[in-house]
A and B are shown apart, each in its own frame.
Chain A
Amino acid sequence: MNIAAYIIYLLLTGIITIKVGQVLFHHGRFYILSAMHGDETLTGVINKLLLTGYYLVNLGYAALMLRNWQTITTVTQLVSSVGTMTGRIVFSLAIMHYLNILWIALFGKQQQLFSHHKK
């Protein structure tokens, strides 16, 4: 039963992580572009690096969670433990996502401050 749980869990978290990564990769470009004052090549490089780092952290974290998984004997336990574990991953993804937004907003504010000083 544990093997089935691991397979479902890894598939779910893998799909969610990759899907979200693609969405952020596509839509986050404009922000980095404006923070880098329209430098296209630098933006591409930074965006790729950020995506790779994001995949590594998330998939690594998801795989680490397998270590202390309770033993499963019934279908009920399977549903509840896969649900809770996936929930934990998705919730931490959300928190990371909001921290990233905050960080970009703060960075943008700082840039504005500097450009103000230059004038």
Chain B
Amino acid sequence: MKTDFNLIAYLIYLPVIVVLTWYVAHTLFKNSKVFMLDIFHGKADIANSTNTIFETGFYLLNLGFALLIMEISTELGSSRTLLETLSTKVGGFAIYLGVMLFFNLYLFFRGRRISKMRSNPPVITPPVFKA
């Protein structure tokens, strides 16, 4: 039987994306607790809940996307094409994951800014007109 390079590609791709997503999510949401506590003024229960809900969403979105783009429609003839196709896929997914990471960070910073603005709104002094 001829070696099926497509199957090998899938068997390499699947663990790589799972580990990659897990690592990014783990790092991001371990550190986001500080932001969440800041946003919700130290209320631990709602901060933890929000963190978990965002984490679930992150896993769902990224693993779902990774599985969606998994299919390799061409038949891989050699180990060279296998490596080329696989690196394109994994690299593209890694870039997408990086964009997602920064988007999440932006959301955290934005939430913190809005929460701070609400707790002490900026003081607007009326202009003084001189006669």
A, B assembled together: yes
**Residues of the B chain whose Cβ atoms lie less than 8 Å from the Cβ of A84:** 67-68, 70-71
In the complex, whether A88 has a CB less than 8 A from a CB of chain B is yes
Q: Could you tell me if A83 and B71 are in contact, using CB atoms closer than 8 angstroms?
A: yes
Range for the number of chain B residues in contact with chain A:
20 to 34
Report the separation of the CA atoms of residues A77 and B120 in the bound assembly, to the nearest whole angstrom. 59
Residue of B nearest to A81 (CB): B71
Report the separation of the CA atoms of residues A29 and B50 in the bound assembly, to the nearest whole angstrom. 11
**Residues of the B chain whose Cβ atoms lie less than 8 Å from the Cβ of A76:** 4, 6-7, 10
Q: Could you tell me if B10 and A27 are in contact, using CB atoms closer than 8 angstroms?
A: no
Shortest C-beta distance, B53 to chain A (Å), equals 5
Report the separation of the CA atoms of residues A10 and B105 in the bound assembly, to the nearest whole angstrom. 35
Q: Could you tell me if A88 and B7 are in contact, using CB atoms closer than 8 angstroms?
A: no
**Residues of the B chain whose Cβ atoms lie less than 8 Å from the Cβ of A27:** 48-50, 52-53
Q: Could you tell me if B65 and A87 are in contact, using CB atoms closer than 8 angstroms?
A: yes
* Interface mask (B45-72 → A, CB under 8 Å = 1, otherwise 0): 1101110110011001101111111111
- Chain A interface residue count, CB cutoff 8 Å, equals 29
Shortest C-beta distance, B49 to chain A (Å), equals 4
Q: Could you tell me if A28 and B53 are in contact, using CB atoms closer than 8 angstroms?
A: yes
**Residues of the A chain whose Cβ atoms lie less than 8 Å from the Cβ of B46:** 30-31, 34
Q: Could you tell me if A87 and B7 are in contact, using CB atoms closer than 8 angstroms?
A: no
**Residues of the A chain whose Cβ atoms lie less than 8 Å from the Cβ of B6:** 76, 80
**Residues of the B chain whose Cβ atoms lie less than 8 Å from the Cβ of A101:** 53, 57
Q: Could you tell me if B64 and A90 are in contact, using CB atoms closer than 8 angstroms?
A: yes
**Residues of the A chain whose Cβ atoms lie less than 8 Å from the Cβ of B10:** 76, 79-80, 83
In the complex, whether B14 has a CB less than 8 A from a CB of chain A is yes
Q: Could you tell me if B4 and A87 are in contact, using CB atoms closer than 8 angstroms?
A: no
Q: Which of A36-44, A48-56, A92-100 contacts B (4 or more CB under 8 A)?
A: A92-100
Given contacts A75-B7, A84-B68, 12 further A-B contacts (CB under 8 A): A20-B56, A24-B53, A27-B49, A27-B50, A34-B46, A74-B4, A80-B6, A91-B65, A91-B68, A94-B61, A94-B64, A101-B53
